[in-house]
């Protein structure tokens, strides 16, 4: 573990995959929709394809090819391409809009709420997500996530891993980057935060991409903390 | 009471004077500072003068005379002018900086936390304050205010009553202006919100400016709700 140069005052959390189980949540809701609407589709593949469209769509915004679009808009753009590909042609516009907002209704990992509540006792806890503000607020309400505030790429009009979002979040909180720690299950996100001077806590979420995908969840000494989950992180930070 | 055209989904709260007792809080902390540092000053007048500098300072930003400065910066600019006026010349830079952040440590009105907790059950509750994000987050932590998120003029680089802040807040929450209600003890703030299509709830805070100043706290039929306090508002909204 590296020596922390300053006291950590705020913890910023990546959300999709780190706090919530996007894949399991989407598959469950889509299966229920399929039963109700008598749509037989491969919902596992559908969820994976939706998520797979996310990075390329953000890359088009980051490069300037697309104007600023928030994640609700990018999710909808990807969804509009997926529906015909998966042979789904019986949904009304209202149903498609509701489906697009499944990302507002994702379920947290089992210990996430308890871990956040523990971490909140001694730190400011906030999201730092590419998800838009409305999505994150609705998700917090749905999943009872006890954020002190919601910070989003939308506030900076820069998606992770652009430095503007990490530095912008620290500035909005009135803190030096070294007083802020990103908590994420994704090493590339953590490395981008470290390059901006933030501390970094890696949390293992081995099932983020389902049971068949083997993710790199090995602890890395370059991170300030490596934790099994949020409760474990709270225990390690209390030492 | 006016018919509400759409269901109210989110409540946005003015903060200084509506949620927290800025005057009482500042006077209490300044008196303690005065005792500790043996400074004899008229702290009631000092608090009033500090607050009196706030609107003119924001007006200079709103007009473009000053570049964007957040409230911490404006409070410090005003404070730097007040200290010599009140004969306060024994504070170190660290002490002045700490004093400037008294606005992060304001105490809520007695029923505010309970009322917010009630209102949070059925609505998104967020700040909509000219205070900066760090100030509002630190205040929420200090006073245990259960916001779903913190929205601030700083996010829009527009101070109230500019329309950009009311419309920007609704847009960030993914809502139509008519689905959002401003809750405030200040009729001018409410009227500016109404001009943008938001609903408006007036809450009486007769002691905001101290026992000697008689404020206009009469109910007005042009507002969607007129309430004694947040608990009363929760009761009225539950009908």
The string of pLDDT tens digits covering residues A126-160 is 999 999 999 999 999 999 999 999 999 999 999 99
SS3 sequence, chain A?
Answer: CCCCCCCCCEEEECCECCCECHHHHHHHHHHHHHHHHCCCCCHHHHHHHHHHCHHHHHHHHHCCCCCCCCHHHHHHHHHHHHHHHCCCCCCCHHHHHHHHHHHHHCCECCCHHHHHHHHHCCCEEEEEECCCHHHHHHHHHHHCCCCCEEEEHHHHCCCCCCHHHHHHHHHHCCCCHHHEEEEECCHHHHHHHHHCCCEEEEECCCCCCCCCCCCCCCCCCCCCEEECCHHHHHHHHHC
Task: Give the model's confidence band at B20: pLDDT under 50 very low, under 70 low, under 90 confident, else very high.
Answer: very high
Q: In chain A, pLDDT over 70 holds for what percent of residues?
A: 97
Is the pLDDT at A234 greater than 50, yes or no?
yes
Give yes or no: residues B97 and B126 share one domain.
no
Give yes or no: residues A131 and A166 share one domain.
yes
Judge: B149–A155 Cβ closer than 8 Å, yes or no: no
Give yes or no: residues A36 and A46 share one domain.
yes
Give yes or no: residues B118 and B227 share one domain.
yes
pLDDT of residue B15: 98
Total domains in the fold of chain A: 2
Give yes or no: residues A222 and A129 share one domain.
yes
- Domain boundary at B71, B105, B139, which? B105
Structural domain contains residue A199:
yes
pLDDT of residue B5: 52
Q: In chain B, pLDDT over 70 holds for what percent of residues?
A: 97
CATH number of the domain that A41 lies in?
1.10.150.240
Judge: B172–A133 Cβ closer than 8 Å, yes or no: yes
Is the pLDDT at A65 greater than 90, yes or no?
yes
Structural domain contains residue B4:
no
- Domain boundary at A68, A86, A105, which? A105
What is the gyration radius of the CA atoms in chain A, in angstroms? 18
Give yes or no: residues B72 and B14 share one domain.
no
What value does the mean pLDDT take over residues B130-157? 98
- Domain boundary at A89, A105, A121, which? A105
Which one of B134, B141, B171 would you mutate to disrupt binding with A, by most A Cβ within 10 Å of its Cβ? B134
> For residue A171, what is the nearest residue in chain B, using CA coordinates?
B134
Structural domain contains residue B5:
no
pLDDT of residue B239: 87
Structural domain contains residue A64:
yes
Give yes or no: residues A116 and A210 share one domain.
yes
Q: pLDDT tens-digit profile of A177-213?
A: 999 999 999 999 999 999 999 999 999 999 999 999 9
Structural domain contains residue A54:
yes
pLDDT of residue B6: 65
Structural domain contains residue B2:
no
Task: Give the model's confidence band at B130: pLDDT under 50 very low, under 70 low, under 90 confident, else very high.
Answer: very high
Structural domain contains residue A4:
no
Give yes or no: residues B116 and B150 share one domain.
yes
Is the pLDDT at B11 greater than 80, yes or no?
yes
Q: In chain B, pLDDT over 90 holds for what percent of residues?
A: 97
Give yes or no: residues B135 and B153 share one domain.
yes
Q: pLDDT tens-digit profile of B79-111?
A: 999 999 999 999 999 999 999 999 999 999 999
CATH number of the domain that B146 lies in?
3.40.50.1000
Contact pairs from chain A to chain B, CB under 8 Å: 61
Judge: A141–B124 Cβ closer than 8 Å, yes or no: yes
Is the pLDDT at B129 greater than 90, yes or no?
yes
Is the pLDDT at A4 greater than 90, yes or no?
no
Give yes or no: residues B41 and B133 share one domain.
no
Supply the DSSP symbol for B153: H
Structural domain contains residue A1:
no
Give yes or no: residues A137 and A185 share one domain.
yes
Could you tell me which residues of chain A have a Cβ less than 8 Å from any Cβ in chain B? Answer: 72, 124, 126, 132-138, 140-141, 147-150, 154-155, 172-175
Give yes or no: residues B135 and B178 share one domain.
yes
What value does the mean pLDDT take over residues A95-116? 98
Domain of residue B126 covers: 10-21+106-238
Instruction: Spell A36-71 as b/e; 16+ CB within 10 A means b.
Output: eeebebebeebbbbbbebbeebbeebbeeeeeebbb
Is the pLDDT at B1 greater than 80, yes or no?
no
**Residue B98 φ then ψ, to 5°:** -65, -45
């Amino acid at each position: 573990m590296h020596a922390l140069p300053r006291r950590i005052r705020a913890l910023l959390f990546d959300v999709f995959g780190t706090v919530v189980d996007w894949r399991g949540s989407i598959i469950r809701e889509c299966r229920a929709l399929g039963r109700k609407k008598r749509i037989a589709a491969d919902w596992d593949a559908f969820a994976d394809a939706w998520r797979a469209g996310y990075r390329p769509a953000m890359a088009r915004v980051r490069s300037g090819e697309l104007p600023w679009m928030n994640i609700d808009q990018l999710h909808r753009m990807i969804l509009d391409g997926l529906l015909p590909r998966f042979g789904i042609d019986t949904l009304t516009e209202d149903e498609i809009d509701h489906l697009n907002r499944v990302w507002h209704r994702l379920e947290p990992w089992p210990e996430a709420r308890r871990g956040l509540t523990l971490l909140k006792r001694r730190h400011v806890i906030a999201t730092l997500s590419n998800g838009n503000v409305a999505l994150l607020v609705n998700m917090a309400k749905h999943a009872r996530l006890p954020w002190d505030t919601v910070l989003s790429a939308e506030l900076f009009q820069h998606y992770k891993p652009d430095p503007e979002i990490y530095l912008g979040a620290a500035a909005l909180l009135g803190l030096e980057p070294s007083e802020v720690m990103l908590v994420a299950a994704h090493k590339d996100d953590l490395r981008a935060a470290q390059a901006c001077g933030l501390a970094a806590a890696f949390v293992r979420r081995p099932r983020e991409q389902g049971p068949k995908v083997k993710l790199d969840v090995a602890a890395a000494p370059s991170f300030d903390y490596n934790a099994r989950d949020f409760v474990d992180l709270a225990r390690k930070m209390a030492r």
